[in-house]
Structure 1
């Protein structure tokens, strides 16, 4: 569902064909590690947008509880109290989504600017890209993810478990990248670089990307099966007949939801 060219990173990585045999090892190391860190940043952006989709879905579930007047007391939120409390929760979720949206925009704007700058100079680009995902961002995403996991337990156990998997992969990758000595005063040998590239490019990043793709698919599959959300889509588009649960109809619904929830914040 996140398969457009920009999100795959095809147009953002430093072209490997420009690495030649005469290039000094330090420059080659910088380019190769920068590419892996760029993929990490791109996947972090992917992860952040999925958290926004999850917050949207959770807000929709809260609104449904208010509107149907049942409180869904047999299935979830038997502890959540009055409808006034639920309205407060819905407003809080909307505010969290708004703040996360602003954070996504900031990360993507900084990424694009840094990418343009580094393509001109390419000096010390790896540390600069690594700093785009800092400890503050990790903490913010961790808090939001934990909130979603806690609430999703009452709605969808698979989604809750998948959110846990994605946060675990994100935290592990952040810690791994943080420990790599990227500054010039710290030397990395060619065998060490080969090990790092193997760990990042073959193991850690692809396995996390797989978990993110699964989260993305499960989120949109769940959204497409929600009658109220489908009703919103039909009201907004006038499409009364298309089966939106699979095939081309599912893709159309997904694209509509992306426009409604995220808009044009793309890398």
Structure 2
């Protein structure tokens, strides 16, 4: 097992050129981001770099948002991180994601963030989502958002989640069209899946988001991997039945 690189906390405020009031949490978030970049850099031969970097973009934008940083450009923030630390500190920020550094639209980020919060709450409540619970309230909010946006892929994921986690749920589809294109679940242990798919841009981004959330979470916390795999299966399920351009995708699934 590789030794965790040294990351000094005094560098983080300088990275983004900003004064943070709650530095304790800001430092923790930034350290996780830097360690994730280090992981991508050291394991690039075994990972899909583009997908890993897209998840990094999401986490970086999340960190900028929750710390109320005015400069919300993830591309600029990452480039600044590389420039500020290059050759001047013990920890050198890898530039491995520089070619894939792109800003995430607020709409796409909101979809990801909604799903992230929902699954995190389910995990906190031991894998269940009881009626009138905090989890159920978040689910209801997501459901309204799904219907208002009329997004089939997004609604289909909520439908899968409803059937698996919400106790005593009435088995009515969240979205009729999404329900009609459902198929059986995937096996839990799959090494490589070769699929010819029709996919939407958001669906592509979402599978990337979930798969690399698993890797990110494993790096910063070695627990509850089974739950995360189950989550990944659900997102795979909704990704496969989204529509647009046919492509061949190779997905490595971690046990």
TM bracket (short chain): under 0.3
Relative contact order (alpha carbons < 8 A, sep ≥ 6): 1 or 2 greater? 1
TM normalised by structure 2 equals 0.25
TM normalised by structure 1 equals 0.24
Between Structure 1 and Structure 2, which shows a larger proportion of helix residues? 1
Between Structure 1 and Structure 2, which shows a larger proportion of strand residues? 2
Question: Which structure would you say has the larger Rg?
Answer: 1
